[in-house]
Amino acid sequence: MAIEKTRPAHGGHGERGITVLLKRMHDVVATEATAQERLDDLTKVIAAHVVADVCSIYLRLPNDELELFSTQGLNREAVHQTRLKWGEGLVGATCATQKPLVTADAPLHPAFSYRPETGEDPLHSFLGVPLIRSGKALGVLVLQNKISRRYTDDEIQAAQAVATLLAEIAASGELLDEDTTQEVDQVLHGPVRLEGKGLVPGIAIGTAAFHDVPMPKHKVFADDTASEAQRLESALDDLRTSVDDLLASGSLAGVSRDVLETYRLFAYDRGWKERLRAAVFSGLTAESAVEQVQAENRARMMKAKDPYLRDRLHDLDDLSFRLLRHLSGEIDQRDDLPENAIVIARVMGPADLLEIDRARLQGLVLGEASTTSHVAIVARALGIPLVTGVSGITSSVEAGDDIIIDGETGDVQVRPNTDVNASYREKAALRSEQQAAFARERDLPFVSADGVEFDVMMNAGLALDMPHLASTGANGVGLFRTELQFLIGAQLPRMSAQQKLYTEVLDLADGKPVVFRTADLGGDKSADYMVREEEANPAMGWRGMRMAIDRPGILRPQIRALLAAAVGRELRVLFPMVTLADELVFAREIIDKETDFRRRCGHDVPSKVLVGAMIEVPSAAWQIGEIAKCADFLSIGGNDLAQFFFAADRDTEQTQARYDPLDRSFLGFLHHVLGNAEKADMPISYCGEQAANLVTAAALAGVGVRRFSLPASAVGGFRRMIRSVTMAELTAWTGAKVMNGRGSLRRELALWLREQGILFEG
């Protein structure tokens, strides 16, 4: 009989019981005995304490199998004999999921795998707890009872405490023999591949370094409110000075100051300071006050759907961290970075990034950031590969580990083996060759192999993006999203600030055309200072032109700023979310009135004003003819048009994955829209970000798009692709496919492009 003892099961032993058990475990580890004897003693001590019929310890081998290392209650002959594959049986499942597995009737569980050699037949209740260390499962602690029962939460927690200590002991080398310790070490420190989201493309190979500074413990309630208020005041002063110094230093050469200026605005924001002071005067210490205001800010951040707004709240979050560091006096204690550092941080603001030694910084892995966050914008401007959203990074990586990140795919390779290392080095070399080739090709025209011409511009939103015009050879800016300036500030940007930005952008464009889209505000893109009603469907709510018409106080100053910035030059103004032709008539009237007003005041005006409508709502797409009567050009906002066409929120992952813009229905619809624009003799471009993907861009070209506005990073690849395509063939192929059958063309088109030998990656 395998089961050596049977006792009635009952609840856990409470906290004191657990403390006693953990101490006994320490004592066992400290005794003089062979490794196996000590391990067996441990299982005996645990089993006795937690009232289990069986207590077993399985350890993970480097090949990911789980071996029974010790048992109290199962057949002893099974020790070092019973092995389970990764994910196999209840033990394997516990290890693979890294979560406790509890069942009252193990044989009935779908994952159950019967092992006769263990003699486990009479056992019913099962509790498996993974031994986790550095984010990895090193093995499993198993408790079993004969009777069918559910382990209580207390018991599970107690088992987890034991498992944590076991993992600690296993990794320390104190318990196991040398070979096994080495094996555990291999599991712990072996190569790991993690996945995140690539935000700034590029491959970085280097050494991991952590940026987050641990916050020392502090008191919650203040003894002396006045002196806390004083501490807060001087920390705020220090914080502001540090940001000012950064702005004043020459280290910002080449990077637009816009981003840091905005950051500085937050540092000087009166509302923030007042909230902090109020928290101190409610009796908190300065540190607790910062944390409380930060928590409120985070709560808003979680709710904010609009990425721009979320990013600005991130800046505030980051400033709070800096303020805490000023309070603790740790701001100056920066450890030297290793050579080729890949810096890992939960959050980072643009100021922090700019302070890092550029000569050593190779790449960044951040817990939270999005394409439009300031830190990403600065990283992009500096050409530092950036990956975000990598779960488990802090537990899987130690400072000093070798690490590789791919800012395009979002892959993170921790402690890569030599093969992986070599293949990334090769990939990096190929990429830089490709970048160099794209740069060499930047003056080549966007013309297909059979002579069809394309007009390719780029999307932008900050002055910082403008140098990409020269580096990519784009023909101009096809979409300048002006709302960014409205969303990052603490208040509506003054007309003078708007005019300054537009002038700078036109100057930097150096004669190339720039299409300014008026602020696409409302919906989710709502800044803090805008008082608005809650809407059930913000994407379809009071936004874009609808808001502009109802709030001339926003649109008029913007038009004035645009007219003033473009004096003597051509001005292109694009209106977002146009739904009915009358809205564009209204917009044009405002432009005409403001132009007349300037003239009457004796001011100069632009040499020419072109008015455009975004086609991003199906009703506008349907009445292209009418809209064309009052427009000079049109631009398809594919992101929104697809959202409304499929009735699928563009920010919801499930709906995004479900509906592909290369679905024949959407391509057919676009073909129809393009045809109507052609009939109306109206230039029409496509500025949705989807065209950054080459297969998508090819499909759009196939249905008739000849003008694109792409993210700057996509321009080089697009030029390459289009120059090797024979448009007559692509048009015929796409036309035939769109007319027949159903579903997305993506896979078929990708295959076709490869078969044609069209230079093309991905």
Cβ at position 338, least distance to ligand PEP in Å: 39
Residue 572 main-chain phi, psi, to 5 deg: -115, 120
As to burial, measured by CB atoms within 10 angstroms (0-12 exposed, 13-18 middle, 19+ buried), residue 481 is: buried
Positions 603 through 632 that interact with Mg ion (CB under 5 A): 616
Which part of the chain contacts ligand PEP (CB under 6 A), choosing from 114-122, 637-645, 668-676, 735-743?
637-645
Strands 203-210 and 197-200: unpaired
- Written as one letter, the residue type at 535 is E
Residue nearest to ligand PEP (CB): 637
What count of other Cβ atoms lies within 10 Å of the Cβ of residue 92? 24
The answer to whether 322 contacts ligand PEP (rule: CB under 6 A) is no
Between 384 and 617, name the residue whose CB sits nearer to Mg ion: 617
Give which of 238, 264, 237 is closest to 349, Cα–Cα: 264
From candidates 637, 661, 702, 717, binder to ligand PEP by CB under 6 A: 637
Residue closer to ligand PEP, measured from CB, 637 or 716: 637
Instruction: Rule CB under 5 A: say whether 637 interacts with Mg ion.
Output: yes
Phi then psi for residue 329, to 5 deg, are: 75, 15
Residue 687 contact, options Mg ion, ligand PEP, none, Cβ 5-8 Å cut-off depending on partner type? ligand PEP
Helix (H, G, I), strand (E, B) or coil at 415: coil
Q: Is 465 in the site for ligand PEP (CB under 6 A)?
A: no
Q: Which of residues 42-71 bind ligand PEP (CB under 6 A)?
A: none
616 near ligand PEP, judged by CB under 6 A: yes
Vertex 208, ends 202 and 212: CA angle to 5°?
A: 105
The answer to whether 520 contacts ligand PEP (rule: CB under 6 A) is yes
- Residues with active-site annotation: 374, 687
Q: Which of 235, 609, 687, 691 binds ligand PEP (CB under 6 A)?
A: 687
Contacts with Mg ion by CB under 5 A: the residue count is: 3
Cβ 377 to ligand PEP shortest distance, Å: 16
Check residue 284 and report its DSSP letter.
B
Footprint (CB under 6 A) of ligand PEP, residues 639-668: 639-640
- CB under 5 to 8 A by kind: which of Mg ion, ligand PEP, none does 660 bind? none
Asked if 640 interacts with Mg ion (CB under 5 A), we say yes
Residues with Cβ within 8 Å of 510's Cβ and at least 6 positions away in sequence, in order, are 469
Locate all alpha helices (DSSP H) within 249-347, ordered by sequence.
Answer: 258-267, 270-281, 286-303, 307-328
Cα 441 to Cα 43, 508, 723, distances in angstroms? 68, 21, 11
**Residue 104 DSSP class:** S
* Minimal distance, residue 619 CB to ligand PEP, in Å: 15
Give the integer Cα–Cα distance in Å for 535 and 546. 14
Tokens of 257: 């100051």
Q: Which is nearer to ligand PEP, 397 or 687 (CB)?
A: 687
- Contact present, 394 and 340 (Cβ < 8 Å): no
- Residues β-bridged to residue 686: 636, 708
Stretch that binds ligand PEP, among 75-83, 106-114, 440-448, 631-639 (CB under 6 A): 631-639
Contact of 42 with 30, CB cutoff 8 Å: no
- 202 near Mg ion, rule: CB under 5 A: no
- Tell which one of 325, 468, 481, 588 touches ligand PEP (CB under 6 A): 481
Select the span of 484-492, 556-564, 580-588, 636-644 touching Mg ion (CB under 5 A).
Answer: 636-644
What six digits make up the tokens of 482? 């002006």
* Closer CB to ligand PEP, 40 or 306, in the complex: 306
Site for Mg ion contains 544 (CB under 5 A) = no
Burial of 721 (0-12, 13-18, 19+ CB in 10 A): buried
Tokens at residue 743, please? Answer: 């579903």
Q: Between 473 and 637, whose beta carbon lies closer to Mg ion?
A: 637
The smaller minimum CB distance to ligand PEP, of residues 258 and 520, is found at 520
Pick what 688 binds: ligand PEP, Mg ion, none; C-beta below 5 to 8 Å, kind-dependent: ligand PEP
Contact positions vs ligand PEP (CB under 6 A): 479, 481, 520, 616, 637-640, 687-688
Contact positions vs Mg ion (CB under 5 A): 616, 637, 640
